[in-house]
Amino acid sequence: MSCDSSERKSEMRTFGTVQNLLSRPDGSATFTQGDTSVMAAVYGPGDVRQTKEIIDRATVEVIYKPTVGMPGIKEKFQEELIRNTCGAVIMTTLHPRTSVTIVTQVVHDAGSLLSCSINASCMALIDAGVPMKCLVAGVTCMLDKEKRLFLDPTDKQTEDAACCATFAFDSSNKKVITSTMQGSCTVQEYQMLLASCQTASEKVFEFYRSSAEKRFAKS
């Protein structure tokens, strides 16, 4: 492989967030990574339809809305990944026979959309005060055709991707909660992608902490 140390240390784009920007949901947040922006709103724990009621835990639902038009197969796949990711960290057993609904709205897609959507959902869950076992951070990375590694790639960078992967990590042990990949790579390259994203996830968790500190400092 031709990845040198400088290529492995490619920087993530600048993060940004605004919480509690919507009045109707129980919690809401926008999350930006460079020019990629996603808005998320959380409703619940609240009433659930009888057909979706689970006796011993809350039902987690995700509605994923693209920038324009109706959700397609790609959006439904993203929706399922976010639902599984958030469902793994929400303490659903504390609120049986209820529903926690996360609505994500893509504002602008400039690359690494899935990881940005996961991070927006986590920030909205924090804002709603939904009990969670830990926080979750999504990170996307890619290898281009020359085997150079890029963290948080833009949409233009991914046009030259040999493979592109997104991982979601928990804040407790940095263990993988969710992973998905497009393209192909060797086992060694996959491990390199995983390790790079795992290290980068700490930057996301640090941003969560600093955002919370700034918000509570103002209140």
Is 219 inside any structural domain? no
Is 54 inside any structural domain? yes
Is 155 inside any structural domain? yes
Query: pLDDT for 137-185, tens place per residue?
Result: 999 999 999 989 999 999 999 998 999 999 999 999 999 999 999 999 9
Is 33 inside any structural domain? yes
Q: Is the peptide bond before 96 cis (omega within 30 degrees of 0)?
A: no
Contact 178, 86 (CB under 8 A): no
Is 89 inside any structural domain? yes
Give residue 219's pLDDT.
58
Query: Digits of tens for pLDDT over the chain (219 positions)?
Result: 334 433 434 689 999 999 988 889 999 999 999 999 999 999 989 888 888 888 899 999 999 999 888 888 888 999 999 999 999 999 999 999 999 999 999 999 999 999 999 999 999 999 999 999 999 999 999 999 998 999 999 999 999 899 999 999 999 999 999 999 999 999 999 999 999 999 999 999 999 999 888 877 765
CATH code of residue 181: 3.30.230.70
Number of domains in the chain: 1
pTM: 0.91
Domain span holding position 82: 5-214
Residues paired with 183 in a beta bridge: 163
